[in-house]
Structure 1
Amino acid sequence: MQPMPVFAAAMDRIFATPSMGAAAVWISATTSQERPIRVIRRAPDRITEFGAARFVSDTMMVDVRLSDLSDPRSGDLIVIGTDSFIIQGEPIRDRERLIWTLDLGPS
């Protein structure tokens, strides 16, 4: 499915808005190649159940445009300001194939 140009343009504007998007740097774990990218940070709580107990933990996730980063991989590094994070797990694309969602852990 090819994304609608209007929707892609809207996503570009959202990522460019300073109150939504943030400048970051992606660094490949395998080639040490690096590239500036724009991200939208999210930090939802994650609930994990273990037997009868429920644990709430902090998470760090970012959304990245495919046009900024075509092939992120687990183990790559994302640097936002002075904070460094490792991509953990498999990156997930949205339905329109415009946005990656990356689950990050501290580096």
Structure 2
Amino acid sequence: MTSAFASAMEILFTDPNIGREGIYIADGGTPMLVRIVSRQADAITDFGDARLWSETTRIDLRVAEVPAPRPGDRIEIDGDAFLIQGEPVRDRERLVWTVDLRPA
């Protein structure tokens, strides 16, 4: 039985206004087409008395499509290449990965 949350995530990822296509390439693996939800939010980090602003690129991936993303894996979105940096984080329901990206 599918949970209401899983059904909602499926709708969000497949919605053409929210979800997008990307290409996921595990380190040493073959490219595969996946659906992503982009979260390109800015980050503000405190460093002593200073506050640093930086652009970030975060995306959500479905665990069903990408069961174990790792730092260094590559994601291509609209012709731009990115590498996963840091450890991916799963949501509470274990349906979605949130990953931080940096330009490749």
- Within 5 Å, which residues of 2 pair with 1:7-86? 7-29=5-27, 31-86=28-83
Secondary structure at the counterpart of residue 8 of structure 2: helix
Please state how far the C-alpha of 1:5 moved relative to its aligned partner: 2.4
Structure 2 residue runs without a partner (length 5+): none
CA distance in 2, matches of 1:104, 1:38: 16
How many residue pairs end up in the alignment?
Answer: 104
Q: Tell me the TM-score normalised to structure 2 length.
A: 0.93
Please state how far the C-alpha of 1:4 moved relative to its aligned partner: 5.0
What percent identity do the matched residue pairs reach?
A: 43
**Greater strand percent: which structure?**
2
Secondary structure at the counterpart of residue 14 of structure 1: helix
CA distance in 1, matches of 2:7, 2:42: 30
CA distance in 1, matches of 2:79, 2:31: 16
Secondary structure at the counterpart of residue 89 of structure 1: strand
Q: CA RMSD in A?
A: 1.3
Secondary structure at the counterpart of residue 86 of structure 2: coil
Q: Deviations over 1:2-58 (max 9, x none)?
A: x952221221111000110000010011x2322110000011111122221111100
Amino acid at match of 1:80: I
Does 2:67 align with 1:104? no
Q: Tell me the TM-score normalised to structure 1 length.
A: 0.91
